[in-house]
Every structure is written in structure tokens, then in C-alpha cells.
């Protein structure tokens, strides 16, 4: 079941990485895709590729840390398409100075709003359309850091991604009778541009062993194309060469 013709998907953080891969995968399966992110140029590039392959793409650039962006985008989707079947809540970010000893107010606001508030705003914008049609799938990108505590991801990012996991489960708790399914993805390291924000650079060799954006795109498509009676509540996924596990083995040695 991989035919999404007639379906409408809204993908946030769609200009690169997981969002880009998810948008391309959904469009290839026939969905009309609405692309949101802060930078218009990468979104236009993704839209161009979708249209060149015969698909439908609409660019709605904006900062989702502002509730008004989600509200306006939701309204635009309703006006143009009259429905929303899939929300891929992928927008997120991190900062280099992420330890408590370095974190300041502005940094905390940026990470928490960029990962948690933005996701909430998009859910609020999407639910009325999905409730009205008694159908919908939400897919949220959390993180391995949304399930496990480590110093690597930083304090604010870890807290925000734990909250995204909780958010997703509460959607199922309240909206399952409206036939709305919410899935939260908890990937370990994925070779995306967010790695460039790491305080310690990540080598090309290490990036090659990580999950790739296309792997996550395949997963997003799989979840989006399950029958309506199936809800994949949560996915915990990692590269086989899990650097955390490898480091633990080396420390034991």
C-alpha cells in the first residue's frame, strides 16, 4: 500500500535532511506536498524536483517558532486543498553551546521553541482538518535523545525531544476516536546538516556509517501508507554502527 494519490502532506523542515527526504518520498507516492522551512531557496529546489517528476508541491516558507506561521500555513492548505492527510513535523535545530555551563536564555529559547513549540503549533493547525475528515497521520521527528539522556545532544535539545515524544503519545490518547494516528520517530545519529552544529566535528567516515536521510524518508513513507486501523506509535531506530555503543565497548576494554 504505497499509493498516496489524492492525499495532501505538510512537511516541515523540508529544505534539507530528513524533511527533504520525506517530502520526496511522499511526493513520489503521489501525495501533494506542502513544504515549510525558514529558508525559501532550499524549499524551492525541493519543489522544483517534485514538479519535474510530475508531482505537486507548494512552498510555504516561514519561521515555525512563531505560532502565526503554522496558523497561516494551515489556513492556506485548507483553502487550496480542502484537506490534510499527513503532517510530517520535522522542523528542528540545535546550537553549539549546549551544556548548562554555556547555555544562556537566548540559546534555551531557540532550542526549545525550534524543536517543541514549532511542533505543537503545527499539530494545533492540523488537527481541525483531520478531525473534520475523520482521518489523518502525524509523524514527528524526535530523537534518540528523546528517549535516552546523554551529554552529546545538550540539555535543551534533550528536554525538548523528550517532550515531543510525550506530545505524540497524548495525540493518540485524545484523538484515536477521530481516526488520527500519531507516530514519533526517535533516530540515533543521522547524517544531516544539523551535525555541522556539533561542538566536536563529525568526520565523513563516521557520517557514512550513520543513518542517512533517505533511510528516514523510507520510514516516513512506510508509516504514512499503513492502513487506517494501524497506528505505529513510536519507532526507535539507529545505525548498526552505533557510536554510543562502540564507545561503551571501547571503554570496557
| Residues taking part in catalysis | 157
Q: Which of 26, 36, 43 is nearest to 85 (CA)?
A: 26
196 φ/ψ sector (left φ>0, alpha ψ -120 to 50, else beta): alpha
All cell numbers assigned to 74: 494551515
Q: How many CB atoms lie within 10 A of CB 212?
A: 18
- Locus of grid cell 554510543: 244
**Does the CA dihedral 195-188-40-164 come out positive or negative?**
negative
Contacts of 253 (CB under 8 A, 6+ apart): none
> How far is the CA of 112 from the CAs of 115, 150, 205, in angstroms?
5, 17, 31
Q: Does residue 142 contact residue 115 with C-beta atoms inside 8 Å?
A: no
SS3 163: helix
Amino acid at each position: 500500500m504505497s499509493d498516496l494519490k489524492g492525499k495532501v502532506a505538510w512537511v516541515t523542515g523540508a529544505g534539507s535532511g530528513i524533511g527533504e527526504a520525506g517530502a520526496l518520498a511522499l511526493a513520489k507516492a503521489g501525495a501533494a506536498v506542502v513544504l515549510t522551512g525558514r529558508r525559501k531557496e532550499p524549499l524551492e529546489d525541493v519543489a522544483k524536483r517534485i514538479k519535474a517528476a510530475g508531482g505537486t508541491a507548494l512552498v510555504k516558507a516561514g519561521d515555525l517558532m512563531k505560532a502565526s506561521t503554522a496558523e497561516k500555513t494551515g489556513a492556506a492548505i485548507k483553502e487550496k486543498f480542502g484537506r490534510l492527510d499527513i503532517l510530517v513535523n520535522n522542523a528542528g535545530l540545535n546550537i553549539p553551546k549546549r551544556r548548562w555551563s554555556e547555555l544562556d536564555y537566548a540559546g534555551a529559547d531557540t532550542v526549545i521553541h525550534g524543536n517543541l513549540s514549532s511542533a505543537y503549533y503545527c499539530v494545533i493547525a492540523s488537527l481541525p482538518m483531520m478531525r473534520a475528515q475523520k482521518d489523518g497521520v502525524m509523524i514527528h521527528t524526535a530523537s534518540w535523545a528523546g528517549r535516552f539522556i546523554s551529554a552529546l545532544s545538550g540539555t535543551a535539545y534533550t528536554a525538548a525531544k523528550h517532550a515531543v515524544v510525550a506530545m505524540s503519545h497524548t495525540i493518540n490518547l485524545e484523538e484515536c476516536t477521530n481516526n488520527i494516528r500519531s507516530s514519533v520517530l526517535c533516530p540515533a545519529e543521522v547524517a544531516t546538516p544539523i551535525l555541522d552544529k556539533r561542538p566536536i566535528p563529525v568526520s565523513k567516515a563516521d557520517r557514512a556509517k550513520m543513518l542517512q536521510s533517505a533511510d528516514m524518508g523510507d520510514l516516513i513513507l512506510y508509516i504514512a501508507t499503513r492502513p487506517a486501523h494501524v497506528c505505529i506509535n513510536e519507532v526507535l531506530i539507529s545505525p548498526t554502527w552505533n557510536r554510543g555503543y562502540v564507545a561503551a565497548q571501547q571503554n570496557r576494554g
